[in-house]
Structure 1
Amino acid sequence: MIKKRISQSFSKSFRTYQNKAIIQKQTANILSEMAEDLTGLGIDLGCGTGFLYENLRKKMIGVDISLKMLEIYKSKNPLAIAGDIEKLPFKNNVFDFAVSNFSLHWTDLKISLKEISRVLKQNGIFCFCMPIEGSLKIVENILGKRNYDFYSEKEVIEIVSGYFEIIISFHKEFRLEFKNGLELLNHLHETGSAIGKEGLSLGKKKRIFEKFKNYNKTAVLNFNVLFVKALKRE
Protein backbone atom coordinates (compact mmCIF):
# COMPACT_ATOMS: atom_id res chain seq x y z
CA MET A 1 0.00 0.00 0.00
CA ILE A 2 1.40 3.36 -1.08
CA LYS A 3 0.77 5.19 2.22
CA LYS A 4 2.55 2.47 4.17
CA ARG A 5 5.52 2.69 1.81
CA ILE A 6 5.58 6.49 2.12
CA SER A 7 5.54 6.28 5.91
CA GLN A 8 8.29 3.64 5.92
CA SER A 9 10.45 5.59 3.48
CA PHE A 10 10.34 8.81 5.49
CA SER A 11 10.77 6.95 8.77
CA LYS A 12 13.96 5.38 7.39
CA SER A 13 15.32 8.77 6.31
CA PHE A 14 14.33 10.77 9.40
CA ARG A 15 17.95 11.00 10.66
CA THR A 16 19.30 12.36 7.36
CA TYR A 17 16.29 14.37 6.16
CA GLN A 18 16.95 17.41 8.36
CA ASN A 19 20.38 18.06 6.81
CA LYS A 20 19.98 16.57 3.33
CA ALA A 21 16.58 17.94 2.24
CA ILE A 22 18.11 21.11 0.77
CA ILE A 23 15.41 21.88 -1.79
CA GLN A 24 12.66 21.25 0.76
CA LYS A 25 14.33 23.80 3.06
CA GLN A 26 14.48 26.31 0.21
CA THR A 27 10.79 25.89 -0.58
CA ALA A 28 9.95 26.18 3.12
CA ASN A 29 11.75 29.52 3.22
CA ILE A 30 9.66 30.89 0.35
CA LEU A 31 6.44 29.44 1.74
CA SER A 32 7.17 30.96 5.14
CA GLU A 33 7.37 34.41 3.58
CA MET A 34 3.97 33.82 1.96
CA ALA A 35 2.50 32.75 5.32
CA GLU A 36 4.16 35.41 7.44
CA ASP A 37 0.94 37.42 7.90
CA LEU A 38 -1.19 34.48 9.07
CA THR A 39 -2.58 34.58 12.61
CA GLY A 40 -4.56 32.36 14.97
CA LEU A 41 -4.32 28.57 15.17
CA GLY A 42 -2.79 26.77 12.23
CA ILE A 43 -2.16 23.24 11.00
CA ASP A 44 1.16 22.16 9.47
CA LEU A 45 0.28 19.38 7.04
CA GLY A 46 2.99 16.83 6.30
CA CYS A 47 5.09 18.72 8.85
CA GLY A 48 8.13 16.46 8.54
CA THR A 49 10.95 17.52 10.85
CA GLY A 50 9.61 21.06 11.15
CA PHE A 51 11.13 23.27 8.44
CA LEU A 52 8.05 25.51 8.35
CA TYR A 53 7.69 25.69 12.11
CA GLU A 54 11.34 26.71 12.49
CA ASN A 55 10.70 29.67 10.18
CA LEU A 56 7.20 30.71 11.21
CA ARG A 57 7.16 30.02 14.97
CA LYS A 58 3.36 30.33 14.92
CA LYS A 59 0.83 28.38 16.96
CA MET A 60 0.42 25.29 14.78
CA ILE A 61 -0.41 21.63 15.17
CA GLY A 62 1.89 19.44 13.11
CA VAL A 63 0.46 16.44 11.27
CA ASP A 64 2.57 13.75 9.61
CA ILE A 65 2.17 10.14 8.58
CA SER A 66 5.69 9.25 9.78
CA LEU A 67 6.09 8.71 13.51
CA LYS A 68 9.87 9.06 13.26
CA MET A 69 9.57 12.46 11.59
CA LEU A 70 7.16 13.53 14.33
CA GLU A 71 9.72 12.65 17.00
CA ILE A 72 12.03 15.34 15.62
CA TYR A 73 9.18 17.78 15.02
CA LYS A 74 7.99 17.43 18.62
CA SER A 75 11.42 18.45 19.89
CA LYS A 76 10.68 21.85 18.30
CA ASN A 77 6.91 22.00 18.72
CA PRO A 78 5.11 19.59 21.08
CA LEU A 79 1.80 20.26 19.33
CA ALA A 80 1.88 17.38 16.88
CA ILE A 81 -0.14 14.31 15.97
CA ALA A 82 0.24 11.33 13.65
CA GLY A 83 -2.31 11.56 10.89
CA ASP A 84 -3.22 11.32 7.22
CA ILE A 85 -3.92 14.52 5.27
CA GLU A 86 -6.70 12.66 3.44
CA LYS A 87 -8.44 11.88 6.74
CA LEU A 88 -7.63 14.57 9.29
CA PRO A 89 -8.49 13.77 12.93
CA PHE A 90 -10.13 17.13 13.62
CA LYS A 91 -13.64 18.58 13.74
CA ASN A 92 -14.98 21.03 11.17
CA ASN A 93 -13.96 24.72 11.19
CA VAL A 94 -11.12 24.43 13.73
CA PHE A 95 -8.15 26.20 12.15
CA ASP A 96 -7.52 29.78 11.04
CA PHE A 97 -4.87 28.73 8.55
CA ALA A 98 -3.13 25.71 7.06
CA VAL A 99 0.34 25.32 5.56
CA SER A 100 1.96 22.44 3.70
CA ASN A 101 5.50 22.18 2.34
CA PHE A 102 6.36 19.50 -0.25
CA SER A 103 3.74 16.98 0.95
CA LEU A 104 0.54 17.13 -1.09
CA HIS A 105 2.01 15.33 -4.11
CA TRP A 106 2.04 12.14 -2.02
CA THR A 107 -1.76 12.35 -1.60
CA ASP A 108 -4.97 12.27 -3.61
CA LEU A 109 -5.22 16.03 -4.08
CA LYS A 110 -9.02 16.22 -4.35
CA ILE A 111 -9.53 14.28 -1.13
CA SER A 112 -6.83 16.24 0.68
CA LEU A 113 -8.14 19.67 -0.33
CA LYS A 114 -11.68 18.72 0.65
CA GLU A 115 -10.39 17.72 4.09
CA ILE A 116 -8.26 20.84 4.48
CA SER A 117 -11.23 23.02 3.54
CA ARG A 118 -13.37 21.15 6.07
CA VAL A 119 -11.08 21.81 9.04
CA LEU A 120 -10.47 25.47 8.13
CA LYS A 121 -12.71 28.20 9.49
CA GLN A 122 -14.61 30.54 7.20
CA ASN A 123 -12.09 32.84 5.48
CA GLY A 124 -9.30 30.46 6.47
CA ILE A 125 -6.08 30.72 4.48
CA PHE A 126 -4.16 27.82 2.96
CA CYS A 127 -0.54 28.27 1.84
CA PHE A 128 1.23 25.34 0.21
CA CYS A 129 3.84 24.26 -2.27
CA MET A 130 4.23 20.98 -4.11
CA PRO A 131 6.34 19.58 -6.95
CA ILE A 132 4.47 19.36 -10.23
CA GLU A 133 4.89 17.96 -13.73
CA GLY A 134 8.40 18.43 -15.08
CA SER A 135 10.10 17.36 -11.84
CA LEU A 136 12.74 14.62 -11.52
CA LYS A 137 13.59 14.57 -15.23
CA ILE A 138 16.97 12.99 -14.47
CA VAL A 139 15.34 9.94 -12.85
CA GLU A 140 13.24 9.38 -15.97
CA ASN A 141 16.38 9.79 -18.07
CA ILE A 142 18.40 7.25 -16.07
CA LEU A 143 15.63 4.65 -15.83
CA GLY A 144 14.36 5.14 -19.38
CA LYS A 145 10.78 5.46 -18.13
CA ARG A 146 8.52 7.58 -15.99
CA ASN A 147 8.75 6.54 -12.35
CA TYR A 148 6.75 9.36 -10.75
CA ASP A 149 3.32 10.81 -11.55
CA PHE A 150 3.10 14.52 -10.79
CA TYR A 151 0.06 16.72 -11.20
CA SER A 152 0.32 19.44 -13.85
CA GLU A 153 0.03 23.08 -12.77
CA LYS A 154 -3.32 23.30 -14.58
CA GLU A 155 -4.65 20.25 -12.74
CA VAL A 156 -3.61 21.61 -9.34
CA ILE A 157 -5.14 25.04 -9.98
CA GLU A 158 -8.41 23.47 -11.16
CA ILE A 159 -8.67 21.22 -8.10
CA VAL A 160 -7.73 23.99 -5.66
CA SER A 161 -10.29 26.34 -7.24
CA GLY A 162 -13.06 23.91 -6.34
CA TYR A 163 -12.52 24.61 -2.63
CA PHE A 164 -10.52 27.85 -2.46
CA GLU A 165 -10.23 31.25 -4.08
CA ILE A 166 -6.64 31.61 -5.22
CA ILE A 167 -4.91 34.75 -3.96
CA ILE A 168 -1.55 34.11 -5.58
CA SER A 169 0.16 31.26 -7.43
CA PHE A 170 3.53 30.90 -9.14
CA HIS A 171 6.04 28.19 -9.93
CA LYS A 172 9.81 28.02 -9.57
CA GLU A 173 12.37 25.39 -10.52
CA PHE A 174 14.94 24.15 -8.00
CA ARG A 175 18.09 22.21 -8.93
CA LEU A 176 20.77 20.21 -7.18
CA GLU A 177 23.86 18.85 -8.92
CA PHE A 178 25.46 15.49 -8.13
CA LYS A 179 28.70 13.94 -9.38
CA ASN A 180 27.01 10.82 -10.70
CA GLY A 181 23.87 8.70 -10.59
CA LEU A 182 24.83 6.81 -7.44
CA GLU A 183 25.29 10.04 -5.50
CA LEU A 184 21.85 11.13 -6.72
CA LEU A 185 20.27 7.83 -5.68
CA ASN A 186 21.77 8.16 -2.20
CA HIS A 187 20.26 11.64 -1.92
CA LEU A 188 16.82 10.36 -2.92
CA HIS A 189 17.03 7.73 -0.17
CA GLU A 190 18.33 10.23 2.38
CA THR A 191 15.34 12.50 1.75
CA GLY A 192 12.67 9.81 1.59
CA SER A 193 12.04 10.51 -2.10
CA ALA A 194 13.03 7.14 -3.57
CA ILE A 195 9.43 5.97 -3.87
CA GLY A 196 8.08 5.00 -7.27
CA LYS A 197 4.58 4.33 -8.55
CA GLU A 198 4.56 0.77 -7.27
CA GLY A 199 6.28 -1.58 -4.85
CA LEU A 200 9.42 -3.21 -6.20
CA SER A 201 10.75 -6.73 -6.00
CA LEU A 202 14.35 -7.28 -4.93
CA GLY A 203 15.27 -8.01 -8.54
CA LYS A 204 13.80 -4.73 -9.78
CA LYS A 205 15.55 -2.82 -7.01
CA LYS A 206 18.88 -4.33 -8.08
CA ARG A 207 18.28 -3.39 -11.72
CA ILE A 208 17.42 0.19 -10.74
CA PHE A 209 20.55 0.38 -8.58
CA GLU A 210 22.70 -0.78 -11.51
CA LYS A 211 21.23 1.89 -13.80
CA PHE A 212 22.05 4.64 -11.32
CA LYS A 213 25.49 3.13 -10.66
CA ASN A 214 26.27 3.09 -14.38
CA TYR A 215 25.34 6.76 -14.83
CA ASN A 216 28.90 8.10 -14.58
CA LYS A 217 28.37 11.78 -15.33
CA THR A 218 26.88 14.85 -13.67
CA ALA A 219 23.30 14.25 -12.55
CA VAL A 220 21.10 17.31 -12.07
CA LEU A 221 18.10 16.77 -9.81
CA ASN A 222 15.24 19.17 -10.53
CA PHE A 223 11.93 19.94 -8.90
CA ASN A 224 9.37 22.20 -10.60
CA VAL A 225 7.47 23.57 -7.59
CA LEU A 226 4.09 25.31 -7.51
CA PHE A 227 3.39 27.80 -4.71
CA VAL A 228 -0.20 28.74 -3.85
CA LYS A 229 -1.90 31.00 -1.31
CA ALA A 230 -5.67 30.64 -1.23
CA LEU A 231 -8.80 31.63 0.71
CA LYS A 232 -11.43 29.06 1.73
CA ARG A 233 -14.60 29.41 -0.33
CA GLU A 234 -17.83 30.02 1.57
Structure 2
Amino acid sequence: MKNHWSEYWSQGYITSFGEAFKMNYQGEIKFLWQGFSRTLDKHSKVLDVGTGNGAVIELIQAVSEHECVGIDLAKINNEVTKQINGHFISHVSAEKMPFKNEEFDAVISQFALEYSDVDLSLSETHRILKPEGKLHLVCHHKSSIIVKPNRQILEAGYAVKEHVLADLKGLVNVLMNNEPTSLYIEKIEKFISSFQSLEKVSLEATNFPAFYRFIIKNKNIDFDEAYKLFESELELLLLRLNELKKAAENTEKLLQKIRITQLFSEIAFKEIRDESNNLIAVVISAEK
Protein backbone atom coordinates (compact mmCIF):
# COMPACT_ATOMS: atom_id res chain seq x y z
CA MET A 1 0.00 0.00 0.00
CA LYS A 2 2.85 2.38 0.85
CA ASN A 3 4.14 3.13 -2.66
CA HIS A 4 0.95 4.15 -4.42
CA TRP A 5 -0.18 6.26 -1.45
CA SER A 6 3.20 8.00 -1.45
CA GLU A 7 2.60 8.90 -5.08
CA TYR A 8 -0.92 10.07 -4.24
CA TRP A 9 0.12 12.35 -1.37
CA SER A 10 3.00 13.74 -3.46
CA GLN A 11 0.36 15.33 -5.71
CA GLY A 12 -0.58 17.68 -2.88
CA TYR A 13 -4.01 16.38 -1.94
CA ILE A 14 -5.11 17.14 1.61
CA THR A 15 -7.76 14.38 1.79
CA SER A 16 -7.97 10.82 0.47
CA PHE A 17 -10.73 11.81 -1.98
CA GLY A 18 -8.63 13.75 -4.47
CA GLU A 19 -10.46 16.41 -6.45
CA ALA A 20 -13.70 15.79 -4.52
CA PHE A 21 -12.29 17.72 -1.53
CA LYS A 22 -9.79 20.26 -2.82
CA MET A 23 -9.56 22.03 0.54
CA ASN A 24 -10.44 19.72 3.44
CA TYR A 25 -13.29 17.59 4.72
CA GLN A 26 -16.52 19.46 5.35
CA GLY A 27 -19.92 18.63 6.83
CA GLU A 28 -20.34 15.77 9.26
CA ILE A 29 -16.70 14.68 9.26
CA LYS A 30 -15.46 18.19 10.01
CA PHE A 31 -18.00 18.64 12.82
CA LEU A 32 -17.14 15.25 14.29
CA TRP A 33 -13.40 15.89 14.59
CA GLN A 34 -13.74 19.42 15.86
CA GLY A 35 -16.32 18.25 18.39
CA PHE A 36 -13.99 15.49 19.57
CA SER A 37 -11.12 17.97 19.85
CA ARG A 38 -13.14 20.07 22.26
CA THR A 39 -13.62 17.08 24.59
CA LEU A 40 -9.86 16.89 25.20
CA ASP A 41 -7.98 18.87 27.80
CA LYS A 42 -6.12 21.89 26.49
CA HIS A 43 -2.67 21.04 25.10
CA SER A 44 -3.40 17.30 25.00
CA LYS A 45 -0.91 15.19 23.07
CA VAL A 46 -2.71 13.58 20.12
CA LEU A 47 -1.47 10.97 17.64
CA ASP A 48 -3.11 10.68 14.20
CA VAL A 49 -2.43 7.24 12.71
CA GLY A 50 -2.50 7.19 8.90
CA THR A 51 -2.46 10.97 8.75
CA GLY A 52 -1.81 11.29 5.00
CA ASN A 53 -1.19 14.99 4.44
CA GLY A 54 -2.63 15.97 7.80
CA ALA A 55 -6.29 16.67 7.01
CA VAL A 56 -7.66 15.58 10.39
CA ILE A 57 -4.95 17.39 12.34
CA GLU A 58 -5.71 20.55 10.38
CA LEU A 59 -9.40 20.26 11.32
CA ILE A 60 -8.58 19.68 14.98
CA GLN A 61 -6.05 22.48 15.26
CA ALA A 62 -8.52 24.97 13.79
CA VAL A 63 -10.35 24.87 17.14
CA SER A 64 -7.64 23.79 19.59
CA GLU A 65 -4.00 24.06 20.61
CA HIS A 66 -3.12 20.41 21.08
CA GLU A 67 0.30 18.87 20.51
CA CYS A 68 -0.45 16.80 17.42
CA VAL A 69 1.72 14.14 15.82
CA GLY A 70 0.82 12.51 12.50
CA ILE A 71 2.31 9.26 11.21
CA ASP A 72 1.82 7.42 7.94
CA LEU A 73 3.23 4.33 6.27
CA ALA A 74 3.52 6.36 3.06
CA LYS A 75 5.72 9.38 2.45
CA ILE A 76 4.00 12.53 3.71
CA ASN A 77 4.18 15.66 1.55
CA ASN A 78 6.07 18.18 3.69
CA GLU A 79 5.09 21.05 1.40
CA VAL A 80 1.48 20.49 2.47
CA THR A 81 2.00 19.68 6.14
CA LYS A 82 4.35 22.59 6.84
CA GLN A 83 1.23 24.77 6.80
CA ILE A 84 -0.37 22.65 9.57
CA ASN A 85 0.29 22.91 13.30
CA GLY A 86 1.69 19.43 13.92
CA HIS A 87 4.72 17.16 13.72
CA PHE A 88 4.63 14.64 10.86
CA ILE A 89 6.63 11.43 10.44
CA SER A 90 6.66 9.33 7.25
CA HIS A 91 7.16 5.58 6.86
CA VAL A 92 5.78 4.57 10.25
CA SER A 93 3.42 1.61 10.51
CA ALA A 94 0.50 1.35 12.92
CA GLU A 95 1.79 -2.07 13.96
CA LYS A 96 5.11 -0.77 15.29
CA MET A 97 5.17 2.85 16.45
CA PRO A 98 8.33 4.59 17.71
CA PHE A 99 6.80 6.12 20.82
CA LYS A 100 7.15 5.64 24.57
CA ASN A 101 4.63 3.79 26.70
CA GLU A 102 1.72 5.98 27.82
CA GLU A 103 2.84 8.97 25.73
CA PHE A 104 -0.46 10.17 24.21
CA ASP A 105 -3.71 11.50 25.62
CA ALA A 106 -5.57 10.45 22.48
CA VAL A 107 -5.01 8.29 19.41
CA ILE A 108 -7.15 9.10 16.40
CA SER A 109 -7.40 7.71 12.90
CA GLN A 110 -9.59 8.24 9.86
CA PHE A 111 -9.87 5.64 7.08
CA ALA A 112 -6.54 4.15 8.13
CA LEU A 113 -6.42 1.80 11.12
CA GLU A 114 -8.76 -0.67 9.42
CA TYR A 115 -6.09 -1.10 6.71
CA SER A 116 -3.64 -2.42 9.30
CA ASP A 117 -3.13 -5.72 11.11
CA VAL A 118 -5.66 -4.82 13.80
CA ASP A 119 -4.27 -7.24 16.40
CA LEU A 120 -0.88 -5.54 16.31
CA SER A 121 -2.09 -1.98 15.81
CA LEU A 122 -4.57 -2.16 18.70
CA SER A 123 -1.88 -3.55 20.99
CA GLU A 124 0.44 -0.70 20.01
CA THR A 125 -2.34 1.86 20.42
CA HIS A 126 -3.04 0.59 23.93
CA ARG A 127 0.67 0.71 24.78
CA ILE A 128 1.19 4.35 23.82
CA LEU A 129 -2.06 5.68 25.33
CA LYS A 130 -2.01 7.17 28.81
CA PRO A 131 -4.40 5.71 31.40
CA GLU A 132 -7.92 6.87 30.48
CA GLY A 133 -6.54 8.00 27.13
CA LYS A 134 -9.06 8.19 24.30
CA LEU A 135 -9.23 6.16 21.09
CA HIS A 136 -11.34 7.74 18.33
CA LEU A 137 -11.61 6.13 14.90
CA VAL A 138 -13.52 6.94 11.73
CA CYS A 139 -13.65 3.80 9.59
CA HIS A 140 -14.95 2.61 6.26
CA HIS A 141 -18.08 0.45 6.23
CA LYS A 142 -18.96 -2.05 3.52
CA SER A 143 -22.41 -0.45 3.07
CA SER A 144 -21.25 3.17 2.91
CA ILE A 145 -21.67 5.50 -0.05
CA ILE A 146 -17.88 5.47 -0.33
CA VAL A 147 -17.37 1.71 -0.41
CA LYS A 148 -20.43 0.39 -2.28
CA PRO A 149 -19.86 2.23 -5.58
CA ASN A 150 -16.15 1.46 -5.44
CA ARG A 151 -16.90 -2.25 -5.04
CA GLN A 152 -18.91 -2.00 -8.27
CA ILE A 153 -16.00 -0.24 -9.99
CA LEU A 154 -13.71 -3.01 -8.75
CA GLU A 155 -15.98 -5.64 -10.30
CA ALA A 156 -16.04 -3.72 -13.59
CA GLY A 157 -12.25 -3.42 -13.50
CA TYR A 158 -11.85 -7.16 -13.08
CA ALA A 159 -14.28 -7.72 -15.96
CA VAL A 160 -12.12 -5.51 -18.18
CA LYS A 161 -8.96 -7.34 -17.16
CA GLU A 162 -10.40 -10.83 -17.58
CA HIS A 163 -12.64 -10.44 -20.63
CA VAL A 164 -11.49 -7.63 -22.89
CA LEU A 165 -7.96 -6.45 -22.07
CA ALA A 166 -6.46 -8.94 -24.53
CA ASP A 167 -8.76 -7.60 -27.26
CA LEU A 168 -7.67 -4.06 -26.42
CA LYS A 169 -4.05 -5.13 -26.80
CA GLY A 170 -4.94 -6.78 -30.11
CA LEU A 171 -6.58 -3.55 -31.28
CA VAL A 172 -3.47 -1.60 -30.35
CA ASN A 173 -1.31 -4.01 -32.33
CA VAL A 174 -3.38 -3.76 -35.52
CA LEU A 175 -3.55 0.03 -35.20
CA MET A 176 0.24 0.14 -34.96
CA ASN A 177 0.53 -1.98 -38.11
CA ASN A 178 -2.28 -0.24 -40.05
CA GLU A 179 -4.22 -3.49 -40.25
CA PRO A 180 -8.03 -4.00 -40.19
CA THR A 181 -9.58 -3.25 -36.81
CA SER A 182 -13.15 -4.51 -37.25
CA LEU A 183 -12.69 -7.83 -35.41
CA TYR A 184 -11.40 -6.21 -32.22
CA ILE A 185 -13.77 -3.25 -32.38
CA GLU A 186 -16.72 -5.64 -32.65
CA LYS A 187 -15.57 -7.58 -29.57
CA ILE A 188 -14.95 -4.45 -27.51
CA GLU A 189 -18.23 -2.82 -28.49
CA LYS A 190 -20.08 -6.01 -27.55
CA PHE A 191 -18.36 -6.02 -24.16
CA ILE A 192 -19.27 -2.38 -23.46
CA SER A 193 -22.89 -2.85 -24.57
CA SER A 194 -23.26 -5.82 -22.21
CA PHE A 195 -23.22 -3.43 -19.26
CA GLN A 196 -26.59 -2.11 -18.11
CA SER A 197 -27.15 1.60 -17.38
CA LEU A 198 -26.04 1.56 -13.74
CA GLU A 199 -23.16 -0.79 -14.49
CA LYS A 200 -21.98 1.55 -17.25
CA VAL A 201 -21.18 4.21 -14.64
CA SER A 202 -18.84 1.75 -12.94
CA LEU A 203 -17.30 0.73 -16.26
CA GLU A 204 -16.66 4.37 -17.18
CA ALA A 205 -14.89 4.82 -13.84
CA THR A 206 -12.29 2.25 -14.91
CA ASN A 207 -11.40 4.60 -17.83
CA PHE A 208 -11.61 1.66 -20.23
CA PRO A 209 -14.33 3.14 -22.51
CA ALA A 210 -12.58 6.52 -22.55
CA PHE A 211 -9.23 4.96 -23.45
CA TYR A 212 -10.84 2.83 -26.17
CA ARG A 213 -12.48 5.91 -27.73
CA PHE A 214 -9.20 7.82 -27.46
CA ILE A 215 -7.12 5.32 -29.42
CA ILE A 216 -9.81 4.94 -32.09
CA LYS A 217 -9.95 8.70 -32.71
CA ASN A 218 -6.24 9.50 -32.46
CA LYS A 219 -3.98 8.02 -35.11
CA ASN A 220 -0.76 9.91 -34.42
CA ILE A 221 0.09 8.57 -30.98
CA ASP A 222 2.44 5.98 -29.55
CA PHE A 223 -0.16 3.21 -29.24
CA ASP A 224 2.09 0.81 -27.38
CA GLU A 225 3.11 3.39 -24.78
CA ALA A 226 -0.50 4.51 -24.35
CA TYR A 227 -1.62 0.91 -23.79
CA LYS A 228 1.11 0.29 -21.20
CA LEU A 229 0.05 3.42 -19.32
CA PHE A 230 -3.61 2.34 -19.30
CA GLU A 231 -2.71 -1.18 -18.19
CA SER A 232 -0.59 0.10 -15.28
CA GLU A 233 -3.32 2.53 -14.21
CA LEU A 234 -5.88 -0.28 -14.29
CA GLU A 235 -3.66 -2.44 -12.08
CA LEU A 236 -3.25 0.46 -9.65
CA LEU A 237 -7.02 0.99 -9.57
CA LEU A 238 -7.61 -2.69 -8.80
CA LEU A 239 -4.97 -2.61 -6.06
CA ARG A 240 -6.39 0.51 -4.42
CA LEU A 241 -10.01 -0.66 -4.55
CA ASN A 242 -9.10 -4.11 -3.28
CA GLU A 243 -7.45 -2.46 -0.29
CA LEU A 244 -10.57 -0.36 0.29
CA LYS A 245 -12.85 -3.40 0.11
CA LYS A 246 -10.70 -5.37 2.56
CA ALA A 247 -10.40 -2.39 4.91
CA ALA A 248 -14.18 -1.99 5.03
CA GLU A 249 -14.52 -5.67 5.85
CA ASN A 250 -11.81 -5.28 8.49
CA THR A 251 -13.78 -2.61 10.37
CA GLU A 252 -16.07 -5.24 11.89
CA LYS A 253 -13.04 -7.23 13.02
CA LEU A 254 -11.53 -4.07 14.50
CA LEU A 255 -14.65 -3.38 16.55
CA GLN A 256 -14.82 -6.99 17.74
CA LYS A 257 -11.17 -6.90 18.83
CA ILE A 258 -11.71 -3.71 20.81
CA ARG A 259 -14.67 -5.31 22.56
CA ILE A 260 -13.14 -8.69 23.41
CA THR A 261 -9.53 -7.83 24.26
CA GLN A 262 -10.49 -6.01 27.48
CA LEU A 263 -7.82 -3.42 26.71
CA PHE A 264 -10.42 -0.68 26.40
CA SER A 265 -13.57 0.49 28.17
CA GLU A 266 -16.37 2.97 27.41
CA ILE A 267 -16.65 1.46 23.93
CA ALA A 268 -19.10 3.17 21.58
CA PHE A 269 -20.10 2.72 17.95
CA LYS A 270 -22.12 5.07 15.78
CA GLU A 271 -22.78 5.87 12.15
CA ILE A 272 -22.00 9.07 10.27
CA ARG A 273 -24.72 9.92 7.76
CA ASP A 274 -25.13 12.81 5.36
CA GLU A 275 -28.17 15.08 5.06
CA SER A 276 -29.80 12.51 2.76
CA ASN A 277 -29.28 9.78 5.38
CA ASN A 278 -26.60 8.02 3.33
CA LEU A 279 -24.05 6.15 5.43
CA ILE A 280 -20.64 7.83 5.10
CA ALA A 281 -18.58 5.95 7.70
CA VAL A 282 -18.70 4.58 11.23
CA VAL A 283 -17.13 5.93 14.41
CA ILE A 284 -15.53 3.68 17.01
CA SER A 285 -14.52 5.27 20.30
CA ALA A 286 -13.11 3.88 23.53
CA GLU A 287 -10.93 4.66 26.54
CA LYS A 288 -7.89 2.87 27.89
TM-score tier, shorter chain, comes to 0.5 to 0.7
Structure 1 equivalent of residue 84 of structure 2:
76
Return closer, same or farther for 1:7/1:86 CA change in 2, 3 Å cut-off: farther
SS of equivalent residue, structure 1 residue 67: coil
The CA deviation string for residues 52-102 of structure 1, in whole angstroms up to 9 with x for no partner, is 222222211111223243441232125222222221111211111111122
Structure 2 equivalent of residue 117 of structure 1:
126
Q: Give yes or no for the alignment of 1:14 onto 2:44.
A: no
Residues 15 and 25 in structure 2, CA contact (< 8 A), matched pair in contact too: no
Identity %: 24
Structure 1 stretch displaced more, 29-38 or 147-156: 147-156
Any gaps of 5 or more consecutive residues in structure 1?
A: 177-221
1:1-234 map, 5 Å: 2-8=1-7, 10-15=8-13, 17=15, 20=19, 22=21, 25-26=25-26, 27-39=29-41, 40-57=44-61, 58-82=66-90, 83-135=92-144, 136-142=147-153, 143-144=155-156, 147=242, 148-149=245-246, 150-151=248-249, 154-161=252-259, 162=261, 163-173=263-273, 224-232=280-288
Give TM-score scaled by structure 1 length: 0.66
The CA deviation string for residues 176-219 of structure 1, in whole angstroms up to 9 with x for no partner, is 9xxxxxxxxxxxxxxxxxxxxxxxxxxxxxxxxxxxxxxxxxxx
The CA deviation string for residues 145-175 of structure 1, in whole angstroms up to 9 with x for no partner, is 6842222654232112223224432013459
Which fold has the larger relative contact order, with Cα–Cα distance below 8 Å and residues 6 or more apart in sequence? 1
Rg larger in 1 or in 2? 2
Distance 1:21 1:131 in 2: 17
Distance 2:105 2:129 in 1: 6
SS of equivalent residue, structure 2 residue 150: helix
Residues 133 and 152 in structure 1, CA contact (< 8 A), matched pair in contact too: no
C-alpha deviation, 1:117, in angstroms: 0.9
Residues 48 and 70 in structure 1, CA contact (< 8 A), matched pair in contact too: no
Compare the two structures and name the one with the higher helix fraction: 2
Any gaps of 5 or more consecutive residues in structure 2?
A: 159-240
Give TM-score scaled by structure 2 length: 0.55
Kindly provide the amino acid, as one letter, of the partner of residue 63 in structure 1. I
Compare the two structures and name the one with the higher strand fraction: 1
